């Protein structure tokens, strides 16, 4: 398996995990930072960094796709009785994606993780 294929697998596994964690009923055993917005930020910064590793030439599409994914999560949460859809969660997703891009740029500039 190539490094690129590995990052793609990790990215899609994390997409699925974020979706499940975002739609599961809240429970004490779910992983959390204790503040909902930081959970969104961490999830989406992670997705951005992993996605850029797996799809380095698809940055714009990945950025748009992750923002749409965050919006989809909020929409789906609005159909549940145990989750709240909040535009500030979507904002936290967007800030996380943007921070992920900045982190990826920094990693590429100062390391040899990607050519």
Tell me, what's the pLDDT at 46? 96
Tell me, what's the pLDDT at 24? 86
pLDDT, tens digit only, all 115 positions of the chain = 788 899 999 999 999 999 998 898 876 666 666 667 998 999 999 999 999 999 999 999 999 999 999 999 999 999 998 888 899 999 999 999 999 999 998 888 887 655 5
Residues 6+ apart with CB under 8 A from 64: none
The count of other CB atoms within 10 Å of the CB of residue 19 is: 15
Closest alpha carbon to 69 in 37, 35, 97? 97
SS (H, E, C) 54-85: HCCCCHHHHHHHHHHHHHHHHHHHHCCCCCCC
Yes or no: say if 26 and 75 are a contact pair by the CB < 8 Å rule: no
Every domain of the chain and the residues it spans: 3-23+33-110
Tell me, what's the pLDDT at 107? 83
CA 3, CA 22: separation in Å to the nearest integer? 28
């Amino acid at each position: 398996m190539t490094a690129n294929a590995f990052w793609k697998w990790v990215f899609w596994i994390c997409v699925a995990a974020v979706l499940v964690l975002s739609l599961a009923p809240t429970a004490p055993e779910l992983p959390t930072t204790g503040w909902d917005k930081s959970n969104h930020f961490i999830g989406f910064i992670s997705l951005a960094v992993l996605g850029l590793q797996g799809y380095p030439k698809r940055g714009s599409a990945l950025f748009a796709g992750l923002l749409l994914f965050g919006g989809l999560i909020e929409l789906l949460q609005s159909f549940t009785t145990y989750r709240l859809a909040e535009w500030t969660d979507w904002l936290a997703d967007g800030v996380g994606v943007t921070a992920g891009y900045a982190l990826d740029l920094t990693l590429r500039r100062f390391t040899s993780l990607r050519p």
